[in-house]
């Protein structure tokens, strides 16, 4: 019997196929790591670390697979959309029925608990990798980053803010990366090469080791010593990115496979043609996962020149490092590469940035999702669509002091978007095209009514 590509059975097959690939690739990396430690210390130490890392990897991937099945298959089956069209397809010409707040809060509590369990497993694996005295990245067959540790993040940040699903060539000399990949594929063995951050930078000794799924483990060994830290650094990954992405129409990409950049700005007023931007904050998401280490927090300098050099500043950047508005817009544009921009009142926030298009020469061709319009679609036109109301409705913890904009508000908006994702799936809006079309139809309906 033929299994249709859009059928439930085929989706379940893809989930377990991705899980198998992730386990195979991850265990290859764990075995290589254990062998390296055994050679450096003893066989007993190597086996112990291999067992610990392998256990953490299997538990983390198992929990991730369970969360995905629960959120995207089990829950939509338990809570299907009300009165679906007889044709079996989602009717995008009518707004979604308002979602009961109690149901949203219940789903939020379940999701929060599962995310906490996954975070604990990730921390266990992070502690193991922290013992490795080199920077580690994993890339898929398309040379896009699917995992990096804290030491790798430090090296990546020399060329730009670290980003999951970004091409490795965005950070290191692309010719050297392509040459190493070609030699590795030709020999099937680990190859050594020189990784140079950006167009010009300090040479870093690197190794690229093949993985069975077509990806590779990249080890960066900088000569400069690093200070030891008793606190494990972050491990950022998304094993859903293991499968190399094939060119498809953007509107066909499932929401859980999209990269989002959630934006918030602080301005001196509400008139883009007259008022100024004081701060730009943004955080990246892959599917419903918030990448809290992939953030942008830019305070705009009041002078006509950069107060300090700094690209892709993360939380904790010194307040005196303030770029001009043009530099900040360029940094955000780079940060949002290949992503969908999400913002509360997105048209207004983007108008402040696009005001300077003539000076920057940038093209903003990225899809945009407005949380105000999304709230109206899901909860009805009469609901309160402010960001704080959305946060309260979806169970997001509200800060004691309301933020006017910037990174703290971007993180709150990202948590709202994370909790809205299961609701979108429950309404049959599973791809970017479906969501954009539904939002546009709802916006047209509101315009006709007013």
Q: Do residue 118 and residue 222 come from a single domain?
A: no
Q: Do residue 303 and residue 337 come from a single domain?
A: yes
Helix axes 8-40, 43-69, angle to 10 degrees: 160
**312 in a domain, yes or no?**
yes
d(CA 136, CA 147): 8
Q: What is the CATH number of the domain that holds 333?
A: 3.30.420.10
**88 in a domain, yes or no?**
no
pLDDT over 70 (residue 260): yes
Q: Do residue 290 and residue 304 come from a single domain?
A: yes
Q: What is the CATH number of the domain that holds 223?
A: 3.30.450.20
Q: Do residue 144 and residue 233 come from a single domain?
A: yes
Strands, E assignment, 117-195: 135-139, 145-148, 191-195
Overall domain count for the chain:
3
Q: Tell me what pLDDT residue 32 has.
A: 81
Q: Do residue 256 and residue 400 come from a single domain?
A: yes
d(CA 307, CA 193): 37
Lowest mean pLDDT among 182-186, 221-225, 356-360: 221-225
Q: Do residue 101 and residue 162 come from a single domain?
A: no
pLDDT over 70 (residue 195): yes
Q: Do residue 207 and residue 171 come from a single domain?
A: yes
pLDDT in tens, 35-81: 887 777 777 777 777 778 778 778 888 888 888 877 777 666 555 44
**Residues of the domain holding 208:** 133-247
Q: Do residue 218 and residue 323 come from a single domain?
A: no
Q: Do residue 197 and residue 263 come from a single domain?
A: no
Which tokens is 87 given? 């044709």
Phi and psi, residue 390, nearest 5°: -65, -40
* Domain end point (choices 207, 231, 247): 247
How confident is the model over 408-420, as a mean pLDDT? Answer: 96
Half-sphere exposure of 49 (CA within 13 A, CB side): 25
pLDDT bracket for residue 346 (50, 70, 90): very high
Q: Do residue 241 and residue 255 come from a single domain?
A: no
Which tokens is 329 given? 């817009």
Q: Tell me what pLDDT residue 353 has.
A: 96
Q: Tell me what pLDDT residue 59 has.
A: 83
Candidate ranges 105-109, 193-197, 310-314, 411-415; pick with highest mean pLDDT:
411-415
**89 in a domain, yes or no?**
no
pLDDT over 90 (residue 191): yes
How confident is the model over 280-287, as a mean pLDDT? Answer: 95
Tokens 């198998």: give the residue.
20
d(CA 162, CA 39): 32
Among residues 21, 15, 67, which one has the least CA distance to residue 288? 67
Other beta carbons within 10 angstroms of residue 334's beta carbon come to: 17
pLDDT bracket for residue 186 (50, 70, 90): very high
Other beta carbons within 10 angstroms of residue 74's beta carbon come to: 12
pLDDT over 90 (residue 200): no
**326 in a domain, yes or no?**
yes
List the strands of the sheet with 145-148, edge to edge.
191-195, 204-210, 216-221, 135-139, 145-148, 236-237
Among residues 301, 302, 295, 335, which one has the least CA distance to residue 321? 301
How confident is the model over 261-284, as a mean pLDDT? Answer: 95
**324 in a domain, yes or no?**
yes
* Domain end point (choices 228, 247, 266): 247
pLDDT bracket for residue 398 (50, 70, 90): confident
* Domain end point (choices 208, 232, 247): 247
pLDDT in tens, 67-116: 887 777 766 655 544 444 444 444 444 445 554 455 656 666 676 776 67
**152 in a domain, yes or no?**
yes
**405 in a domain, yes or no?**
yes
Determine which helix (DSSP H) or strand (DSSP E) holds 108, and give its type and residue range.
Answer: helix 101-130
Question: Exposed (0-12), middle (13-18) or buried (19+): which is 15, by Cβ within 10 Å?
Answer: middle
pLDDT in tens, 285-310: 999 999 998 999 999 986 544 544 44
pLDDT over 60 (residue 420): yes
Helix, strand or coil for residue 295?
A: strand
Q: Do residue 285 and residue 265 come from a single domain?
A: yes
**87 in a domain, yes or no?**
no
pLDDT over 90 (residue 312): no
Q: Do residue 69 and residue 168 come from a single domain?
A: no
d(CA 43, CA 213): 28
Q: Tell me what pLDDT residue 68 has.
A: 80
Distance (Å) of CA 79 to CA 65, 95, 126, 212: 20, 18, 36, 39
- 209 contacts: CB under 8 Å, gap ≥ 6: 32, 184, 190, 216, 217, 218, 219
Contact yes or no for 136/217 (Cβ under 8 A): yes
């Amino acid at each position: 019997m033929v299994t249709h590509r859009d059928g439930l059975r085929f989706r379940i097959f893809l989930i377990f196929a991705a899980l198998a690939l992730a386990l195979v690739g991850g265990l290859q990396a764990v075995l290589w790591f254990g062998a390296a430690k055994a050679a450096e210390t003893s066989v007993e130490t190597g086996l112990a670390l291999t067992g610990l890392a392998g256990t953490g990897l299997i538990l983390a991937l198992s929990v991730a697979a369970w969360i995905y099945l629960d959120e995207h298959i089990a829950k939509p089956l338990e809570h299907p959309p009300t009165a679906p069209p007889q044709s079996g397809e989602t009717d995008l010409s009518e707004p979604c029925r308002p979602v009961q707040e109690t149901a949203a809060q219940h789903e939020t509590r379940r999701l929060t608990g599962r995310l906490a369990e996954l975070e604990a497993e990730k921390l266990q694996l992070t502690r193991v990798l922290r013992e490795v005295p080199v920077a580690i990245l994993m890339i898929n067959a398309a040379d896009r980053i699917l995992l990096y540790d804290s030491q790798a993040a430090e090296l990546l940040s020399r060329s730009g803010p670290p980003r999951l699903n970004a091409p490795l060539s965005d950070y290191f000399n692309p010719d050297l990366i392509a040459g190493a990949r070609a030699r590795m594929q030709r020999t099937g063995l680990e190859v050594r090469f020189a990784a140079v951050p950006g167009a010009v930078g300090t040479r870093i000794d690197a190794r690229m080791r093949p993985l069975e799924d077509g990806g590779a483990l990249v080890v960066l060994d900088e000569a400069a010593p690093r200070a030891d830290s008793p606190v494990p650094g972050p491990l950022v990954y998304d094993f859903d990115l293991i499968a190399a992405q094939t060119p498809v129409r953007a509107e066909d990409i499932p929401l859980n496979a999209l990269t989002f950049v959630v934006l918030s700005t602080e301005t001196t007023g509400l008139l883009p043609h007259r008022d100024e931007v004081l701060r730009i904050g943004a955080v990246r998401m892959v599917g419903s996962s918030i990448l809290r280490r992939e953030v942008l927090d830019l305070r705009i300098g009041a002078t006509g020149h950069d107060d300090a050099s700094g690209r892709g500043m993360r939380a904790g950047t010194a307040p005196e490092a303030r770029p001009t508005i043009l530099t900040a817009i360029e940094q955000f544009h780079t940060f949002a590469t290949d992503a969908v921009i999400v913002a509360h009142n997105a048209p207004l926030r983007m108008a402040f940035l696009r005001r300077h298009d003539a000076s920057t020469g940038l093209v903003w061709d990225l899809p945009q999702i407005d949380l105000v319009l999304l709230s109206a679609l899901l909860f009805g036109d009469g609901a309160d669509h402010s960001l704080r109301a959305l946060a309260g409705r979806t169970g997001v913890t509200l800060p004691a002091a309301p933020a006017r904009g910037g990174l703290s508000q971007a993180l709150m908006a990202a948590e709202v978007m994370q909790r809205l994702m299961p609701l979108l799936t429950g309404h049959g809006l599973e791809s970017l095209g479906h969501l954009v079309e539904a939002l546009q139809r709802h916006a047209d309906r509101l315009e006709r009514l007013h």
